A and B are shown apart, each in its own frame.
Chain A
Amino acid sequence: MAKKIIENKYQESTETKIDTEKRDFLFLTTGGLAIAGGALTAWSLINTMNPAKDVLALSSTEVDLTPIDEGQSLTVMWRGKPVFIKHRTQIEIQEAREVDIDSLKHKDLDESRVKNPSWLVVLGVCTHLGCVPLGQKVGDAKGDFGGWFCPCHGSHYDTSGRIRKGPAPLNLEVPPYEFVSEEIIKIG
């Protein structure tokens, strides 16, 4: 019986003595710290899925151009993607430069897409949904504009790799590259 009374007193005394301001402060600071810590932890874990150092280290490729005759093309791998290197003929260059720029879907001059007019270097990845367009091999369909044709959904690219017809919105991308010497380029 005596115990019972003490117990009631215990409950009363805690109920009347609750310092709500202190409670809120503790709750908010603890909660805030937990969220900040959780977010940082989550990020360091998720970040492991981003490209690792060895993947980033593969980011440049050198290519010797000497074996590619005029009119021929070569496909090389760069960062796991195909890069089209096209040794253009005079006619192909002319075609690329005579186009009325206003008639293009993605307006870009051929002059700004090449470093040396004989050599066109573009990513072989269709800007629609990522297929590899045809046109690198002799006998491939090259599309209505003599460049590349993407079989997936019918995009036509010209001899400057620009989109001319079909669903793709953009020209084939020009990767960063430079001429290390007359005959060697470094992509990336």
Chain B
Amino acid sequence: MQVKSNNYTGVKKWVDERLPVFSFVEDNLTNYPTPKNLSYFWNFGSLAGITLVIMIVTGILLAMQYTANSDLAFDSVERIMRDVNNGWLLRYLHMNGAHMFFIVVYIHIFRGLYYGSYKSPREILWMLGVTILLLMMATAFMGYVLPWGQMSFWGATVITNLFSAFPIIGESIVTFLWGGFSVDNPTLSRFFVLHYLLPFAIVGVVVLHIVALHMHGSNNPLGIDVKSDGDTIPFHPYYTVKDYYGLGVFLIFYLGLVFFAPNFLGHPDNYIPADPLVTPAHIVPEWYFLPFYAILRAVPDKLMGVLLMFSAVAVLFILPWLDTHKVRSSQFRPYYKQFFWLFFVNCFVLGWVGAMPAEGIYVTISRIATAYYFIFFLVIMPLLSKFEKGRVLPSSIASSVLSDKFESAPDQSFAK
């Protein structure tokens, strides 16, 4: 490795030669060259990172007050709400933080889908992202069980029972997951331990995600490679300021929920203590699981439904090999762009039918939407890769950016 310490003097030089803290920050944060044309869709990565930190901080403080025991858990959460100083704030920050986390990450993923960020050379970066999504889902699912309300209990029962769909070993897997013959105290304690552990696993994968990102740098709305220094600007101050601004807007939404509608995205039944003898009339998962839940229920066969639901996430892993079109950004792929937007709307349709009772017309809709979900990935993407003719790409980021700004306006106008 090349020693870069010559740039520094004195103590800084001495330290940096031994532990490259200063050059690391310079290379990866301050001077890090970033495409100059990134839009606000590139804010969501840093927002996801910040949300993860918020979740860990509020989570650790909650864990200091929470009791992971099926007789005490519900009351301990109520005690957090009523007796602990600012406990209501702590819990609402954590609860709504989970919702915001999924909003941010889903936008981040759709961004990647639209601009082809999963394509070479960013395949591993993308797969690490999908891994983070899976870990987040597991973490959020187990977190939702902790308050031990009716939805916690029955959500846990239904989701763990998914594994009973597997032939022969299904039942023993479920018993193993429960640590007993129903969701009970042993289940709660292990879920608490895993809910505490997994976020730190997420932190680890996020680090890998960023290492992979910094190998080739960010993709950009044009989807073309950076070709010269003229295509980039240093991360600091340009994108630190932009990320900071994005954080402000994010906090308005997030804290708006926390302070004015803390239970808006939640389910009131979870304020009823868990009762193993009574199932709520209408049980639904949290909104962020609804599209997958809809896919599960669209299939009349138990095992097939479960497999299809897992495939809905798994298919994302092989995305870079399904869409092999050379052009990344949808801006230059007129056909892909339309199928993408249809896919986008389709996800909301899935989410909506997932929240509806599984009967009548809803079943039909969920089947059509499920079919499109998979056809988009498995049929449309490979076909378009072969037959779609992309538009002409701009020669460089700089030329495109400057032609937008200057060809339409007289030169002097910029100098004010």
Q: Please measure, in the bound complex, the distance between the C-alpha atom of A56 and the C-alpha atom of B301, giving whole angstroms.
A: 56
Contact with B along A171-184 (1 / 0, CB 8 A): 00000000000000
Cβ of A52 and Cβ of B87 under 8 Å apart? yes
Among B61, B83, B398: residue with most chain A CB under 10 A = B83
Once the chains bind, are A52 and B402 in contact (CB under 8 Å)? no
Given A13-B415, A52-B85, the answer on whether A45 and B57 have CB atoms closer than 8 Å is yes
The reply to whether A17 and B416 form a contact with Cβ atoms under 8 Å apart is yes
B85 touching A47, Cβ below 8 Å:
yes
CB proximity of A136 to chain B, nearest CB, Å: 32
Q: Are A54 and B83 in contact (CB under 8 A)?
A: yes
Q: Nearest-CB distance from A48 to chain B (Å)? A: 5
Report the minimum CB–CB distance from A44 to chain B (whole Å): 5
Given A7-B230, A45-B86, CB of A52 within 8 Å of CB of B414? no
Q: How far is it, in angstroms, between the C-alpha of A32 and the C-alpha of B65 when the chains are bound? A: 32
Residues of B within 8 A of A (CB): 57-58, 61, 64-65, 79, 82-87, 89-90, 230, 244, 398-399, 402-403, 406, 411, 414-416
List the A side residues contacting B79 at CB < 8 Å: 52, 54
Partner of B65, one of A6, A10, A17, A48: A48
Question: What CA separation (Å) do A7 and B405 show in the bound complex?
Answer: 11
Nearest CB on A from B287, distance (A): 27
Residue numbers in A under 8 Å from B85 (CB-CB):
47-48, 50, 52-53
* Number of residue pairs A-B, CB distance < 8 angstroms: 52
Docked complex Cα distance between A53 and B78 (Å): 13
The answer to whether B414 and A49 have CB atoms under 8 Å apart is no
* 19 further contact pairs, Cβ within 8 A, besides A7-B398, A49-B61, A52-B83: A3-B403, A7-B402, A9-B414, A10-B402, A10-B414, A13-B415, A30-B244, A45-B58, A45-B61, A47-B86, A48-B84, A48-B86, A49-B64, A50-B85, A52-B65, A53-B82, A53-B83, A54-B79, A55-B83
Main secondary structure of the interface of A (DSSP, over half): helix
Complex Cα distance A54/B414, Å?
A: 64
The answer to whether A3 touches B399 (Cβ under 8 A) is yes
Contacts of B416 in A (CB 8 A): 17
CA–CA, A49 and B85, complex, Å: 8
Q: Is there contact, CB below 8 Å, between B84 and A52?
A: yes
- Chain B residue nearest to A54 (CB atoms) is B83
In the complex, which residue of chain A has the Cβ closest to the Cβ of B241? Answer: A30
Q: With CB as the reference atom, state the residue of chain A lying closest to B405.
A: A10
Q: Among the listed B61, B230, B402, which residue makes an inter-chain contact with A48, where contact means beta carbons less than 8 Å apart?
A: B61
A residues 15-36 near B (Cβ < 8 Å) are 17, 30
Residue in B closest to A16 when the chains form the complex, CB atoms = B415
What's the Cα separation between A55 and B65 when bound, in Å? 12
Contact between A44 and B87, CB atoms less than 8 A apart: no
B244 to chain A, nearest CB (A): 8
Q: How far is the CB of B235 from chain A (nearest CB, A)?
A: 17
Nearest A residue to B91 via CB reads A48
Query: Which of chain B's residues have a CB closer than 8 A to the CB of A30?
Result: 244
The distance from the CB of A123 to the nearest CB of chain B, in whole angstroms, is 25
The 9 A-B residue pairs with the shortest CB-CB distance, nearest first, are A53-B83, A52-B83, A54-B83, A52-B84, A13-B415, A47-B85, A44-B86, A48-B86, A48-B90
